[in-house]
């Protein structure tokens, strides 16, 4: 009786072993090997990328021309009456606040350079979206009217988010490397902005401690316009 029981156990073990082998073999058969692109395929891919970049630049030029045409139309309309002139002033102000046009004025320029990571190998941390959002908030609270991060305009629809491994930070869907110098420009009262950044403890926020942070005031700072399209797919005006 015991002999039959042992034989049955061995038989079950052999069956499971065979099933395991078959499943492993089938899985390996289904795995597609990684294929290296040929020289011709690589050249074709590069040509397609160049074509898309050319089309993008052409669309940008058309967009700039349309914006200029609209501006010319508004200027002509504004010269016809005082009401139109006031309307154009309000439109210009709205575009400035929304970041749809380049902005300039006095303010501060802040540079953030990572220190040598080997000096603090156990504790060193690079910038993340957390620190950039914090700095933007501090500058806005100090009265900044326009802000850019590496020449990327910060607007009401700007998103700031770190990648999964923090190899880069997305600002307006464009990459900012925390391992390179990051430049933040802010237009506003230079003394108030400098005072806010110089306040004790402000620049000791998390990974900011591992960066050499310097800032200075300038009389003429240029903040480029927001280069993305505003999204209003879900939002609509509330009418009485």
List, as own/partner pairs, every contact residues 227-234 make where C-beta atoms lie below 8 angstroms and the sequence separation is at least 24, other chains included: 227/153, 227/172, 228/157, 228/172, 228/173, 230/98, 230/157, 231/157
**Residue in this structure with the two tokens 């910038």, named with its chain if needed:** 127
Q: How is the chain split into domains, by residue range?
A: 39-97, 102-223
Contacts of 204 (CB under 8 A, 6+ apart): none
Per-residue pLDDT of the chain (240 residues; tens, 9 = 90+): 444 544 455 555 555 566 666 556 555 555 555 557 688 777 777 887 888 887 778 777 877 777 777 777 667 666 667 777 777 788 888 889 999 999 999 999 999 999 988 777 778 899 999 999 999 999 999 999 999 999 999 999 999 999 999 999 999 999 999 999 999 999 999 999 999 999 999 999 999 999 999 999 999 999 999 988 888 889 988 988
Identify each DSSP E strand in the chain by its residue range.
103-114, 146-149, 152-154, 160-162, 169-171, 174-176, 182-187, 211-223
Which of the listed CATH numbers 3.30.70.1880, 3.40.50.300, 3.40.50.11810, 2.30.130.10 matches domain 102-223? 3.30.70.1880
* Residue 23 three-state SS: helix
What is the C-alpha to C-alpha distance for residues 145 and 240, in angstroms, rounded to an integer?
31
Q: What are the phi and psi torsion angles at 165 (to 5°)?
A: -105, 10
């Amino acid at each position: 009786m015991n002999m039959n029981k042992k034989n049955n156990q061995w038989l079950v073990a052999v069956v499971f072993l065979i099933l395991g082998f078959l499943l492993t073999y089938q899985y390996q058969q289904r795995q597609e090997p990684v294929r290296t692109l040929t020289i011709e395929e690589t050249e074709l891919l590069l040509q397609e990328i160049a074509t898309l970049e050319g089309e993008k630049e052409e669309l940008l030029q058309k967009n700039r021309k349309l914006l200029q045409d609209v501006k010319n139309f508004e200027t002509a309309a504004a010269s016809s009456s005082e009401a139109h002139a006031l309307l154009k002033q309000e439109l210009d102000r709205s575009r400035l606040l929304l970041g749809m046009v380049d902005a300039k004025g006095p303010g501060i320029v802040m540079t953030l350079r990572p220190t040598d990571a080997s000096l603090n190998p156990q504790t060193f941390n690079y910038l993340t979206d957390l620190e950039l959002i914090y700095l933007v908030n501090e500058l806005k609270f100090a009265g900044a009217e326009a802000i850019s991060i590496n020449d990327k305009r910060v607007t009401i629809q700007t998103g700031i988010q770190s990648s999964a491994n923090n190899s880069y930070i997305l600002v307006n869907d464009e990459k900012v490397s925390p391992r390179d110098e990051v430049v933040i420009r802010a237009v506003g009262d230079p003394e108030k902005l400098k005072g806010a950044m110089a306040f004790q403890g402000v620049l000791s926020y998390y990974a900011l401690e591992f960066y050499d942070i310097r800032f200075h005031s300038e009389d003429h700072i240029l903040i480029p316009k927001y280069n993305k399209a505003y999204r209003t797919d879900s939002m609509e005006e509330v009418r009485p």
